[in-house]
Structures are given as C-alpha cells and as structure tokens.
Structure 1
Amino acid sequence: MMINSEVCRTEVTSFAYRPPQSAFGARRILVKPNLGYPVGPPVTVSLGVLGAVLRGLRAAGPTAEIAIVEGVCSPVSLPEIVRRLGVESLLDAGMVILDADTLPLAEYPNVSPKPVRFPSMWAPAMLREVDSRITVGALKRTHLKGEPLISASVKNLYGLFPRSHYRARSPNSRGQLHRPSVPRVLQDVYFCIGHLFDGAVVDADRKLISPNWKPDRGQTVEVGQVFWGDDPIAVDRLACEVAGEPVPDYLEAIEEIRV
C-alpha cells in the first residue's frame, strides 16, 4: 500500500477498505456506487471493489443500516441493473438498495463563494439523515465538445440528482447538469453535496476510455489499482496521476476555491 496526501492506494487483489471515522459506530451509512448502466466494469464499479467497501463498512458499523443509493443513466431500471450485475450477492440483512429518483428531496445550498450556475441543488434528503457518506466511482475518460472529461468519485455524484428535475431532452439523463459544461457544473455539485461526503473510493482496476460522450462503451486500459481516502478531491487527483490522466480542471478549481 502507498499513501499520498492521506490517500491510500493498493492493488485491487489486496484491497481491504478502512472507512472514515464517521462510519465507526454509525447508525446509518449511505454508499453511492457507480451502477448507473446495465454494463459491468469498467463502465460500473466491480463487485470485488464494492464488496470490499461494504465489508469494511460493516466491520466499522456492525449494526448500521447501509443504504446503497444510485440513480441510473439508462432506460434500464435500477432493480434490473442490480439483477444483471449481481449486486444483491454482496448484501447482508442490514443493507438496502434505493433508487435516488424515488427518494424524498431536500434543497442543498451552494457553499461556494463563486457558484457557476446553481445557487442550490436538489438531492435526496437522506444525505442529511445519515452518519457517513461514501462515494465509490469507476475511473473513466469521455469526450464532450472535443474536450476530455474524467469521471471518478466526484462525477459519480451526478447519479444522486433527480432526473425529473434536471433532465433536458432525454428523460434518461440529467441534461441540465451539462450546461454551461460538465466540468463547470461539477464545481456546483461539489459545493452543494460533494463536500458532505466523508469518504471516496475510485475503482481503477481498469479505466474506460470512450471516443465520445458515451460513458458505457469504449476502450479498456489496465491500471490494477484502487484509491481511497476521506477527501474525494484528493482521491480523484491521485487516481488520475497514477493512471496517466491529466488532473481535470474542475478538481483544480474546487481546490482553489476551498482553500
């Protein structure tokens, strides 16, 4: 294992997750994994990495309710995606899978001094009702308007926003969150809900490189690593550096604002 700026890194085969302090003795824990498509890794997180995260959380909170919350990016429903990917095999009696699109909502203020577009954003009220929040992302590079877009633990949070509220032309996506650009809106995402997250994991066993904007198909590149820590920004940064990806501008912008 290697540690850099409080981010842990290890080979996938030896990954044993140690959660943030907030998970120890917690009553309720929320896990947001990238499970938005009916396609296996690296489009979505692997069962091996997600299973290790859930085992680590269960060890930290033996009696905790662990809610696995996702909002899909596909015409395929979350229950069907869960069935196809075999996620239910990872669950114990105290774990539940919840569709973010069906949950009661709350308005989260943007705590940035320089909001890009949204002075506040709507997301599940549950984010305020749990003791610990973990985002588990898959490492992907897509292209929007000719520019590369890195998806990891921060971009993974898009799935928490209700499609009914943020959709544009397609009912299956959150098109409102693409204007003026995804990298810029990700700053609002972080300062509305991302800063609430206590931990982040990036599954970089394999990274996906898409030739276009579609994050569910493309070339697979072996990396063989998992990254985790308490700060999603630091976790995403190290994942990019080790995987040979430029650190995205949105991470730089968030780091500059929150200093």
Structure 2
Amino acid sequence: MKVLPVTSVQVADTEEFIYQPPAKATNASRILVKPNLGYPVAPPVTVSINILKKVLQGLRQVSPNGEILIVEGVCSPVSLEEIAHRHGLYGILDEGMQLLDADKLPMSEYPNLSPSPVRYKSMFAPTMLQEVDCCITVGAFKKTNLKGKELISASLKNLYGLFPRSRYKARSSHSRGQLHRPSVPLILQDVYFSIGYLFAGAVVDGDLRFVSDDWRPDKGKTFPFGKIFFGDDILAVDRRACELAKETVPDYLDTIENLRQLSNI
C-alpha cells in the first residue's frame, strides 16, 4: 500500500491557523466550499465559524475577485438558512460569497470511476461541482459507533451533504439513509470515486473532538484537541487527523487509496 507522506498535510494549532489554499484556488473565477453545517448544533458537531472564516479569508487572498459558493445540504428538519443564521455564517460572508442549499441545486449524474464500485455505478450530486475551478471540503472531526464498529467522519464523510435527500433518503426524509447501506465505510468508496476526487483541498476542524457512544452524529461528548489539519488530498488529511488524535485509521482510507492506485484518478 502506498502511504502518503506526512508532509502532504499541514497541521496548525487552532489559534495559529492560517489557511493556505491549494494551487487551483489561485485566481479562480468560482470556488465551491462544502462546510459541515448540516445540523443546528454547535461545534464539534459542526465546523467552527471562526475556522470557516479563516478558510474563506485564505481563499479570498488568493482569489480576490472570485465567486465563492458555500454549498451544504442539511440533515435536519431545520432549514439551511436558519442553521446558517444560528451559527452566524452570514456575518462572515463578503459580497462575492453566497450560501446555497445543495438540495435545491440542479443535479448531474457522476460516474463512479472506481475499478470496483460497491453499490453505485454513478451518483447524483450538484452540477456545480463540475462548473467551478476549485472545490474545498471543510469537515469536523467526529467518531460515532454503530453495532460495535467505530466510524470516523472528517473531510470525506462531509461530502454526504452534497447528495440530494430526495434521491437518497430512506425512512427519514431529513437524512440520506440509502447512503448507509450496506455501510458508510463501504459507500464512502463510491462517494470518493464519484465526486471526492474532484476536491482539490480538505480542511478538518479538530479544535474540538466529538465522540458519540452510538450512531447519532449530533449527540455525544466533546473533548479539546486544538488542531486544524489541511492539505490538497482528502485521504491524507483525514489520515493525519486520525493519527494525531490517536484514533485507529479507518479501513476505508486504505481501501480507497489502494483502489486509487488502480484507477486513472
């Protein structure tokens, strides 16, 4: 297995974090930012507005005239607009930034480029992903537990919010239950090879760590961590966050990395 070098990921103490965007963001006309803001709950269930502000500031410095689109799809009965208001998101946006509800955007079918798809040969996500110059995912660092198995959620799992609930809902219309079958770690393979590879940058907000005793990603315990992870590769960023948090690196990262070596991505 190819192991990505630690130098591919930057780690900063929360107070000293200054975002350095990927090269694709420089002088970009349009940048898409996918933050983890799907719940009306404070960090670490969601990303810190202060960290998101620093990400947006970093992007604005390298793309002073670019359009920055903050795109999220909620996992709650509460609307995205109300969640954004509660978190104070509107207060950090400049005139060239706007918030968009992923569920309300035009969708396109993205082929699954994995050499071995798990469930989906293609997946539907906002057309906008292929209409921008650069995509950035900004995830929170969370651990949940389902049937005795731990699940680490960071910058890759954050992409679940981009998939339309109308197509991927199960019992609840507020979530994307179909993306939990047969399991999240398995479906994350399809997610990466459908849209994950399109993301040129990843940030994991590890100022606080979230740990749940069960499957619920919005109810659990909070622990101080004080680290922010960022880089150009989703897999490497998530891996480094797990290593420094002394969490077991999830198998899905190894599996995706092995498959990526076999693909043309």
Shorter-chain TM-score range: over 0.9
Within the candidate set 155, 158, 164, 1:162 is matched to: 164
1:120/1:192 contact within 8 Å kept: yes
Letter in 2 for 1:161: F
- Runs of 4+ more than 3 Å apart: none
1:5/1:234 contact within 8 Å kept: no
CA offset at residue 59 of structure 1? 0.4
1:153/1:201 contact within 8 Å kept: yes
Letter in 2 for 1:41: P
What's the % identity of the aligned pairs?
Answer: 63
Higher deviation after alignment, 3-12 or 86-95: 3-12
Residue of structure 1 in register with 2:149 after alignment: 147
Partner deviation per Cα, 1:36-74 (whole Å, 9 max, x = no partner): 000110000001110000000000110110000000000
Residue of structure 1 in register with 2:109 after alignment: 107
CA offset at residue 4 of structure 1? 2.1
Distance in 1, Cα, partners of 2:152 & 2:91: 29
User: Secondary structure at the residue paired with 2:38?
Assistant: coil
Residue of structure 1 in register with 2:80 after alignment: 78
Residue of structure 2 in register with 1:203 after alignment: 205
Distance in 2, Cα, partners of 1:145 & 1:192: 27
Q: Answer yes or no: is 1:231 the counterpart of 2:233.
A: yes
CA offset at residue 5 of structure 1? 3.3
Q: Which runs of structure 2 are paired with 1:1-259 in the superposition (5 Å)?
A: 4-259=6-261
Distance in 1, Cα, partners of 2:159 & 2:93: 22
**Matched residues, number:** 257
**CA-atom RMSD, angstroms?**
0.8
Structure 2 gaps, min length 5: none
Letter in 1 for 2:259: I
Partner deviation per Cα, 1:204-251 (whole Å, 9 max, x = no partner): 001100011111111111110000000000000000000111101111
1:137/1:203 contact within 8 Å kept: yes
Partner deviation per Cα, 1:98-136 (whole Å, 9 max, x = no partner): 000000000000000000000000000000000000000
Distance in 2, Cα, partners of 1:101 & 1:22: 26
User: Secondary structure at the residue paired with 2:98?
Assistant: strand
Distance in 2, Cα, partners of 1:221 & 1:54: 26
Letter in 2 for 1:5: T
- TM-score, normalised on structure 1? 0.98
Distance in 1, Cα, partners of 2:190 & 2:146: 18
1:105/1:122 contact within 8 Å kept: yes
Structure 1 gaps, min length 5: none
